[in-house]
Amino acid sequence: MNVRRRTVVEAAIPTEDQLAEAGLRLRVAGGVATITLARPERRNAMTGRTWTVLAHVGQTLPTSVRIVVINGEGPSFSSGIDLAMFGPEGVEGEPSLMGYLGAGPAGEAALEAAIAGYQEGFLWLRRPGIVSIAAVRGHAIGAGFQLALACDLRVLADDARLCMKEPALGLVPDLTGTKPLVDTVGLSRAIELCLTARSVSASEARDLRLAELVVDGADLDRAVDDLVAALLATPPEAAAATKALLQQAVGGTLEEQAARERRAQVARLSSLARQRSQGSAG
């Protein structure tokens, strides 16, 4: 029998240069990855590269990372998409979104594929093995609001302003934000927020459950640190299994969910029993 040797190559996390080109910084320490939107001179406007590099970060984070914090440098969390992405030239080194069009169905398919790639930068933030936190000060507009919505939890400084501006620009929100928005605020409020493109203050965001916590701007970092410490205190396997269970609770029936709880608990108890027997054998 031929036994083929499999070589597992761990993908490398993006380099500092790649991160900087995408307007990002990344720090990984003590089970926590902090991703900083770092183009303050453009109010942390993001480009396609920002999102594909974010996806790359998600694919290559060490498995020891349990918490991902996303924050912004300067006065704004993010002013959304870099508006130059819609211009004829695009942004340096990246195609204009409009540049895909004009080539008929092939161009439209290529644009849809590009957007799917951008969405990958947002979707991984919901995976069960991590808890993602958006730490928002100042504006979170359009794609910036959607990035905050892509996170499990949002901690807002009291000057935060959330705005789904896409419809006002003739667009739709397409960076995975519509589902968490509707799940959180309900369909009617989501329609009102998106179709008026109005700004939501931090206190209204708390009332709408768009923020888990609103704090004085000077206390934002400390509040996030406290939340991170509390989350890290829970055993990782139980945290991941519970997050997965809670995610499945949305939309299912009570009976289906009760069955999932039973299965998840049997898996948990089996794992704990294995750990105990290994501990007593060792």
Q: What angle do CA 97, 167, 164 make, to 5 degrees?
A: 100
| Distance from chain centroid for Cα 132 | 6
CB 81 within 8 A of CB 170: no
Q: Using CB under 6 A, which of the segments 30-38, 80-88, 219-227, 233-241 binds ligand ACO? A: 80-88
The answer to whether residue 48 forms part of the interface with ligand ACO (CB under 6 A) is no
> Taking the complex as a whole, how short is the minimal distance between the CB of residue 53 and ligand ACO, in angstroms?
17
Which of 11, 151, 140 is closest to 67 using CA atoms?
151
Q: Using CB under 6 A, which of the segments 13-21, 76-84, 94-102, 241-249 binds ligand ACO? A: 76-84
> Taking the complex as a whole, how short is the minimal distance between the CB of residue 154 and ligand ACO, in angstroms?
17
- Applying CB under 6 A, which of residues 26, 43, 100, 151 lies at the interface with ligand ACO? 43
The answer to whether residue 137 forms part of the interface with ligand ACO (CB under 6 A) is no
- Which tokens go with 161? 């302003």
The answer to whether residue 79 forms part of the interface with ligand ACO (CB under 6 A) is yes
Q: Using CB under 6 A, which of the segments 107-115, 137-145, 185-193, 243-251 binds ligand ACO? A: 137-145
Instruction: Tell how many helices (H) and how many strands (E) occur in the chain.
Output: 10, 9
Which parts of 142-181 interact with ligand ACO (CB under 6 A)? 142-143, 165-166, 169
The answer to whether residue 76 forms part of the interface with ligand ACO (CB under 6 A) is yes
Which stretches of the chain are assigned E, i.e. beta strand? 24-29, 32-37, 67-72, 131-136, 139-141, 153-157, 161-163, 199-201, 213-215
- CA gap 206, 150 in Å, rounded: 17
- Applying CB under 6 A, which of residues 68, 81, 131, 215 lies at the interface with ligand ACO? 81
Q: Using CB under 6 A, which of the segments 121-129, 140-148, 235-243, 274-282 binds ligand ACO? A: 140-148
**Percentage helix, strand, coil for the chain under 3-state DSSP, each rounded to 5:** 50, 15, 35
- Which tokens go with 224? 């996030």
The answer to whether residue 45 forms part of the interface with ligand ACO (CB under 6 A) is yes
Residue nearest to ligand ACO (CB): 142
Of 42 and 206, nearer to ligand ACO (C-beta) is: 42
Q: Site for ligand ACO (CB under 6 A): how many residues?
A: 18
- CA gap 241, 223 in Å, rounded: 25
> Taking the complex as a whole, how short is the minimal distance between the CB of residue 181 and ligand ACO, in angstroms?
14
- Applying CB under 6 A, which of residues 139, 148, 149, 181 lies at the interface with ligand ACO? 139
β-pairing verdict for 139-141 and 153-157: unpaired
> Taking the complex as a whole, how short is the minimal distance between the CB of residue 36 and ligand ACO, in angstroms?
17
Of 52 and 130, nearer to ligand ACO (C-beta) is: 52
Q: Which residues of 80-99 are buried (b: 16+ CB within 10 A; e: fewer)?
A: bbbebbeeeebbeebeebeb
- Applying CB under 6 A, which of residues 66, 71, 72, 82 lies at the interface with ligand ACO? 82
Contacts of 278 by beta carbon, 8 Å cutoff, 6+ apart: none
Catalog residues that contact ligand ACO under the rule CB under 6 A: 42-43, 45, 75-76, 79-84, 139, 141-143, 165-166, 169
